Amino acid sequence: MSRLLAVDLAKSYRLLNHGPTVLVSSAAGQRSNVMAAAWAMPLDFDPPKVAVVIDKATHTRALIEASGEFVLNVPCRAQAEAVLRAGGTDGRQVDKFAHSGLSGLPSQRVAAPRVDGCIAYLECKVISEPRNQQSYDLFIGEVVAAEADAEVFADGHWRFDGDAKRSLHYIAGGAFFATGEAFEVET
């Protein structure tokens, strides 16, 4: 069981700043779902906002439009197979949590579940922008709660040691990069 610690909201952009692939989890009524998304990024610092692309054809889209909420979960290398399964199936046809071998955890501020075993969580409320949603499948969310796995994120910084808990960067067709070597440049 990972130990989760709260991340200061004004620093929550740090969870996404390096461009990891995320899992988007959502719920409405008795339904919940999880999908993979490589197209997500921070959009503002304070209040923190994120942008994420959610295709009209997805079950996740319907759940987010019904609930006005979603969670961006940052998965890790140990979950890569599950991420691929969550990206390659349709939540209208299968229970993607079950199909991916992922389980939901309660969130703090939204009804959408978090995905157990991920290394960071950004709970978001949709800022309604109908034109973006319709024309570009682009959703903007305000981050209302953020937590990270204390083993790999502390004092506002990722600290990856081993491989299993490194974040992921999806390429295509089952291929990923792991987040690589950290280095510093003189300012």
151 close to 167: Cβ distance less than 8 angstroms: no
Half-sphere exposure of 89 (CA within 13 A, CB side): 19
Q: Which among 2-10, 60-68, 75-83, 98-106 is the span making contact with a second copy, rule CB under 8 A?
A: 75-83
Choice from 49, 99, 109, 125 touching a second copy (CB under 8 A):
49
Q: How far is the CB of 31 from a second copy (least distance, A)?
A: 26
Q: Strand (E) positions, 1-137?
A: 4-6, 22-28, 31-37, 40-45, 48-53, 69-74, 104-105, 114-115, 120-127
69 close to 112: Cβ distance less than 8 angstroms: yes
Count residues contacting a second copy (CB under 8 A)? 53
- 1 vs 172, beta carbon nearer a second copy: 172
Instruction: Write the interaction track for a second copy spanning residues 112-151; mark x where CB under 8 A is met and - where it is not.
Output: -----------------x-xx---xxx-x-----------
Report which DSSP code applies to 128: -
Residues at the contact surface with a second copy, assessed by CB under 8 A: 14, 17-21, 38-44, 49, 51, 53, 77, 80-81, 83-84, 88, 129, 131-132, 136-138, 140, 156-158, 163, 166, 169-187
